[in-house]
Structure 1
Amino acid sequence: MASTGVFFYVYPGIASTASFLLNETNPAFGSLLQVGFAFGFGIAFAIITCGSTSGGQVPYYIFAQIFGAFMAGLFVYGQYHEQIVAYSAATIAAGKGTVFNGGPASIFCSFPGETQTNLGYLFMIEFFVDSYIGIIIWACLDPANPFVSPQAAPWAIDITISTNMARDLGTRLVALIFFGREAFTYHSYSWISILVNIPATLFATAYYEMLMRDSLQKIEWDFWAAAGALESWDAEGV
């Protein structure tokens, strides 16, 4: 089910990206806002359809997620094959190649802009964004959070537009197949997009658990205090 969930998450987003880029960012065919909503609704649909199933063993779970994103990339490439080939020919003729921010390969995975060559700066951007998202997701998963019900959690999470290794690596492998090694070597950026979310998520988890999640302990304390009061009343024959 992990592969199905990631497929549901990734497919709408990259399909929307394809529609937007292949039509030269014509507003009639989409916008960056639409792309964001597509990824967001994809996350919500993935949680709703697959969130209740077990992920199984960790190695299988990670592989299944990468496979789901990979299949989503293949589906989108197949559906937009003619347009992608034509767009690739146009960008090659213009001397841009196919791997750059806004190019054919960026339908499937992210690339920095031509002037974004400072990897430390790109690392901090990715780390901050992923940490920000992680804290929001952790708050949505907190059973003691009175502002997010279990039914509302998928829609609250979808607004954040999550990023993860499986989503990027799976589709980047598709870009590797059709656009070459530069999908991984362009500006030496791919490791940031693939891996930085892991320490960022660990940081977000630790930050939330240590500094923000005190409501659950308070509820537990109130519960046991109330239970103790009931026992006292029973002992007194009240």
Structure 2
Amino acid sequence: QPRLLAPWQKHRRGRARWFVEFVAEALSTFLYTFAGTGSTATYVLGNLLGVQGVGSVLQVGMAYSLGIVLAVIICLPTSNGHANPAFTIWHMLTGNSTSLYIDHNLCHRRTRLIVAQIVGAYVACLLIYVQYHDMIKEAIAGLQAKDLYDSVMFTAQGPGGIFGLYATPGANLGNVFLNEFVCDFVLAVVIFACLDPTNAFSPPVAAPWIIGFTYGIVIWGFSPASLAANSARDVGGRLAVLSLWGLPASGGSYAAIAALTNIPATILGGIFYHFIFTDSDRVLTPASLELLSATKAYEDR
């Protein structure tokens, strides 16, 4: 490190640690929201404005996938967080053991992480709105001219749908809930497998790519049926559209499904993975042991 940063290095491991972790965790959700929502903006606005070849569901899935890879690689080593409130809540419940308990000091820290996750997604959405302001304004004017504002604006095909998540008009909310729950459960099982230090087929360096690719799979296959997949992305985006357009952007009953389903699905996925796949007789892989040793050495300083 440059000499000028030496005093800061001592401070950031002390009183400023909570601030550093907060910023890192917020940046993690900012990165994948910025990537995925920016790609969604090109897709939605391209369709509304008749611009050909500027977006697709494939592109959106790739953007979210790579955004998640960036979030995990860049931010999580610093924040020691999860970039997803559902996994933060899982760790609030389980801690570092298999029994369910709540450590109140950890609870305070992880509550800050959840706030940071939502803030990161919120800021990303507002920034993208500013970047695409002129095109969004033009798209809204076009909807108003065609008398389609009320029916399209706050749907997945409208400008509001760039930032907030909305169910397909007329969709059965029971089916929407099932789609969300199954996708989130699958994501959770994959992530827990990647985090398993005895899993020789998923070394730590491969985990970001496996997790990102799995998000791409569920987006490509199931986002047309309405998919949030991360409570921070949904709540941050929901707060952004409410800030921009008020209560009409709330999303109605679907808002609760998008914001909350991820949490029980992740908890069930964690229980399922640990009950079926975790084996205490398996040894840690060399790569995982190296990572754990390095982390412990840092924490012991």
Aligned residue number for residue 22 of structure 1: 45
Secondary structure of residue in 1 paired with 2:240: helix
Matches within 5 A, 1:158-177: 158-161=212-215, 163-177=229-243
2:73 to 28, 36, 48: 48
Q: Hey, what's the Cα distance between the residues in 1 that align with 2:77 and 2:281? A: 25
Identity of aligned residues (%): 38
Which structure would you say has the larger Rg? 1
8 Å contact kept, 1:101–1:114: no
Aligned residue number for residue 295 of structure 2: none
1:218 to 282, 289, 299: 282
Q: Hey, what's the Cα distance between the residues in 1 that align with 2:177 and 2:143? A: 28
Q: Hey, what's the Cα distance between the residues in 1 that align with 2:40 and 2:251? A: 22
Any gaps of 5 or more consecutive residues in structure 1? 221-238
Aligned residue number for residue 155 of structure 2: 100
Q: Which runs of 4+ in 1 moved over 6 A?
A: none
Secondary structure of residue in 2 paired with 1:159: helix
Matches within 5 A, 1:104-123: 104-116=159-171, 118-123=172-177
Q: Hey, what's the Cα distance between the residues in 1 that align with 2:165 and 2:215? A: 14
RMSD after superposition: 1.7
Q: Hey, what's the Cα distance between the residues in 2 that align with 1:40 and 1:160? A: 8
Any gaps of 5 or more consecutive residues in structure 2? 1-23, 82-105, 217-228, 285-301
What TM-score do the two structures reach when normalised by structure 2? Answer: 0.69
| Residue type at the aligned position of 1:22 | L
Q: Hey, what's the Cα distance between the residues in 2 that align with 1:201 and 1:131? A: 6
Aligned residue number for residue 266 of structure 2: 201
Q: CA deviation at 1:210?
A: 0.2
Q: Deviations over 1:28-67 (max 9, x none)?
A: 2121101000000000000000111234701211111100
Q: Deviations over 1:181-206 (max 9, x none)?
A: 132244x2111001110000000000
Q: Deviations over 1:150-172 (max 9, x none)?
A: 11110111012282111111111
| Residue type at the aligned position of 2:135 | Q
Secondary structure of residue in 1 paired with 2:200: coil
Q: Deviations over 1:85-131 (max 9, x none)?
A: 11112223333321112110110122111120x22221111111100
| Residue type at the aligned position of 1:10 | T
| Residue type at the aligned position of 1:66 | I
Matches within 5 A, 1:9-158: 9-24=32-47, 28-53=53-78, 54-55=80-81, 57-97=109-149, 98-116=153-171, 118-158=172-212
8 Å contact kept, 1:99–1:179: no
Q: CA 1:41–1:184 in 2, change beyond 3 Å: closer, same or farther?
A: same
8 Å contact kept, 1:175–1:183: yes
The range that moved more, 94-103 or 137-146, is 94-103
8 Å contact kept, 2:235–2:259: yes
What TM-score do the two structures reach when normalised by structure 1? Answer: 0.86
Aligned residue number for residue 182 of structure 1: 248
Secondary structure of residue in 2 paired with 1:29: coil
Q: Hey, what's the Cα distance between the residues in 2 that align with 1:149 and 1:135? A: 16
The range that moved more, 72-81 or 153-162, is 153-162
Q: Hey, what's the Cα distance between the residues in 2 that align with 1:164 and 1:37? A: 16
